Amino acid sequence: MLKIENLTRSFGGLTAVDDLSLHLETGDIQGIIGPNGAGKTTAFNLITGIYRPDQGRILLDGQDLSGLTSDVISRRGIARTFQNIRLFGKMTVWDNIITAFHQRMGHGFWDAVFHLPLFKSREREVCKESLAFLERFGLAERRNELAENLPYGEQRRLEIARALATNPRVLLLDEPAAGMNPTEVEGLIGLIRDIHREFDLSILLIEHHMPVVLKLCNRVQVMDFGRTIAAGDPHEVTGDPVVIKAYLGDEEDGL
Ligand SMILES: Nc1ncnc2c1ncn2[C@@H]1O[C@H](COP(=O)(O)OP(=O)(O)OP(=O)(O)O)[C@@H](O)[C@H]1O
């Protein structure tokens, strides 16, 4: 489904992603782990067109996405969430979800916000779908609240719902459990399992919480200083002394 070949990107003298290759098969939930600054988010930024690769290719179902803009890549079927949740905080939950549906339909942000004629024809259909989506994500009762006023776990859920409203085949989740309490993390694991099945997704997941990786991922790839240092079964990889050393430096505790 998603094939990354020899991806490299430098910033000045620093090679943030160095010869990264990765295959995400249909239906996979794969983890990317590695210490801070390893290049994980840069890899996501390359896949989603925020940065252009210096070298390498990104193929979705055999089609080369390298060098395309974020909008085009989103319409081709790759959606993502961000390490620091990105929502329209001063807009309601409803407007956040409805703008994502309009993005999928090729309507502009301002069309959606100001309800211009272009978008009116399909408004009823979009409203129906948006409501169904909010109900699915347990956010329907919150629809008139400002996104920034939601509890953290619900903001994360809304961000994932927004990503799915663009109808992706591949979903990239950048540290979805960051900042969550243990109850929220358990809820998140259940949510990712459910949407994986319901929306027929392949998922690539950056995560520092190892329980999340171990419970969800069928494969994991470890990055350090931009390079892949290990890959394979999550339980084996997280027990690999090379991986433990990369995470810990000279400290003694495990992952
Ligand atoms: N736009 C940029 N300009 C300069 N350096 C950058 C840029 N983006 C990333 N970097 C550098 O590239 C390296 C990799 O950063 P990246 O954010 O990809 O790491 P990460 O593995 O996601 O880390 P974390 O787990 O802390 O989020 C870091 O040294 C970072 O400072």
Superfamily of domain 86-167: P-loop containing nucleotide triphosphate hydrolases (3.40.50.300)
Q: Is the pLDDT of residue 253 over 80?
A: no
Cα 74 to Cα 87, 104, 194, 226, distances in angstroms: 17, 8, 22, 25
For residue 9, the SS3 value is strand
The second-level CATH assignment, the architecture, of 1-77+168-255 is: 3-Layer(aba) Sandwich (3.40)
Q: Write down the domain spans for the chain.
A: 1-77+168-255, 86-167
Atom of ligand 1 nearest to the CA of 223: 21
Question: How many angstroms does the Cα of residue 220 sit away from the middle of ligand 1?
Answer: 20
Residue-level pLDDT at 227 = 96
CB 213 within 8 A of CB 238: yes
Q: For residue 181, give the amino acid letter.
A: N
Question: How many angstroms does the Cα of residue 221 sit away from the middle of ligand 1?
Answer: 17
Is residue 179 lining ligand 1, measured as CB closer than 6 Å? no
Among 7, 9, 11, residue to substitute to test ligand 1 (most atoms within 8 Å of Cβ):
11
Same fold, 1-77+168-255 and 86-167: yes
Is residue 37 lining ligand 1, measured as CB closer than 6 Å? yes
Q: What is the pTM of this model?
A: 0.89
Q: Is the pLDDT of residue 26 over 60?
A: yes
For residue 222, the SS3 value is strand
Characterize 179-197 residue by residue with b for buried, 16 or more Cβ atoms within 10 angstroms of its Cβ, and e for exposed: ebeeebbebbbebbeebbe
Q: Quick one: how many helices (H) and strands (E) in the chain?
A: 11, 10
Interface ipTM above 0.90: yes
Express each pLDDT in 94-105 by its tens digit: 999 998 887 776
